[in-house]
Amino acid sequence: MDIEQLEKSFIKRFGKSNEKIQFYFAPGRVNLIGEHTDYNNGYVLPCAITFGTYLLVRANDSNVVKMVSENFDYGDEIPIDKLSIPQSGKWMNYPLGVFDQFIQKGLKPSGLEMLYSGDIPNSSGLSSSASIEMVTAFALNDLFYIGLEQTDLVKLSQKAENEFVGVNCGIMDQFAVGMGKKGHAIFLDCGTLEYELVPIDLKNYKIIIANTNKQRGLADSKYNERVAECNKAVGFLAKIKKVESLSDFSYQEFVNNKHHIPDINIRKRAKHILSENQRVVDAVKVLKNDDLRVFGKLMNASHNSLRYDYEVTGYELDTIVEEARKVEGVLGSRMTGAGFGGCAIALVDENAVEPFIRKVGENYYKKTGLKAIFYISEIGDGTKKLNSSEN
């Protein structure tokens, strides 16, 4: 991203001023393994990526917050006393939800000019929403000298999405976006927020993100339905022992007691969550042993579980994962994100990257009529303030 060009765009939109423009960045994320476990207080293994959301902010002497985006046509000037009112179907609800959380904590905001610009594909499953939330939270915390810790900003951003936007997301996305570290994945217990930074040595392999270009709307997808189904599973299993979430059970305990869940679909949802928790634990062990081949097998098993037990993949994701696995030099492939479209990831030998992109792209298009977009993902740092010279 060209920061100097963004600064020129900012001045073109808002004009010149004696006030200094501040620069912030929050990455997107990919989840290497551990899908839909976060809102079940389970284990996840995400990492921050090197593209994300840039935010340029400048104070003004008005009583309005002016929000515009390089990615969406719609922008607005919002009076300070209206910042806690949701906009109907607008992208601005993500930053507004963060404003609302700060206002509930006693913040009295002043006028601001805010330009957002991101290179995360929208609705791709790479957490563009969490990236917008976290960059806003970090900026407000810095601009108004609030003094919250990064983990506090993570929790605040998740709460904004839950309560203001209306998506019952877990904390994984915001945590990975906020706490990421270059060259590391985050082994996170979403129930306790205990985490470990796990170094990843990819050797001669690359993480390739494949965007299906099958758009999905997270808030109106079956995401909330899956949350409700998991809660039903907890209700059945709570008759056996006192539990608050599915992750209070081990996978073996589930196997021994699955007959207590009479609904076969609810049973399948629980099976995915608890087997996925175990796969995350196994994945951390094999990564520490630099065993990428076994990690690839765990990726494959994760996608299969998401496809057959959790049923959140869909034709496009299944097709692109199947085509990825056919290419020589691929150790594993799986969907990443909430599903129902969006992106898949694959672990690919660096010598096979060009034929991988060509073969998977061609075969995917033949079967779906959609053109996939591919990204070579580097593992980057979490949310931060930038100097104007950084990009």
Domains of the chain from N-terminus onward? 3-198 (3.30.230.10)
Phi, psi of 123 (to 5 degrees): 60, 35
- Give the model confidence (pLDDT) of 152-173 as tens digits: 999 999 999 999 998 888 899 9
Question: Quick one: DSSP state of residue 105?
Answer: T
**C-alpha to C-alpha distance for 54 and 105, rounded to whole angstroms:** 25
DSSP-assigned states of every residue in 106-118: T-----EEEEEEE
Per-residue pLDDT of the chain (391 residues; tens, 9 = 90+): 688 999 999 999 999 999 999 999 999 999 999 999 999 999 999 999 998 999 999 999 899 999 999 988 888 999 999 999 998 878 999 999 999 999 999 999 999 999 999 987 666 567 789 999 999 999 999 999 999 999 999 999 999 999 999 888 889 999 999 999 999 999 999 999 999 999 999 999 999 999 999 876 543 568 889 999 999 999 999 999 999 999 999 999 999 999 999 999 999 999 999 999 999 999 999 999 999 999 999 999 999 999 999 999 999 999 999 999 999 999 999 999 888 888 999 999 999 999 999 999 999 999 999 999 999 989 999 999 998 644 4
The answer to whether residues 90 and 74 touch, using CB atoms and an 8 Å cutoff, is yes
**C-alpha to C-alpha distance for 351 and 366, rounded to whole angstroms:** 25
Res 391: pLDDT: 46
Q: Which amino acid is at 198?
A: V
Res 221: pLDDT: 62
- Give the model confidence (pLDDT) of 108-127 as tens digits: 999 999 999 998 766 656 77
- What's the start-to-end Cα distance of the chain, in Å? 6
The answer to whether residues 328 and 319 touch, using CB atoms and an 8 Å cutoff, is no
Res 126: pLDDT: 72
Res 11: pLDDT: 96
Structure tokens at 117: 């610009």
Question: Quick one: DSSP state of residue 90?
Answer: -
Q: What is the pTM of this model?
A: 0.90
* Number of residues written out for the chain: 391
Which residues are annotated as catalytic?
A: 173
Cα 381 to the center of its chain, rounded Å: 14
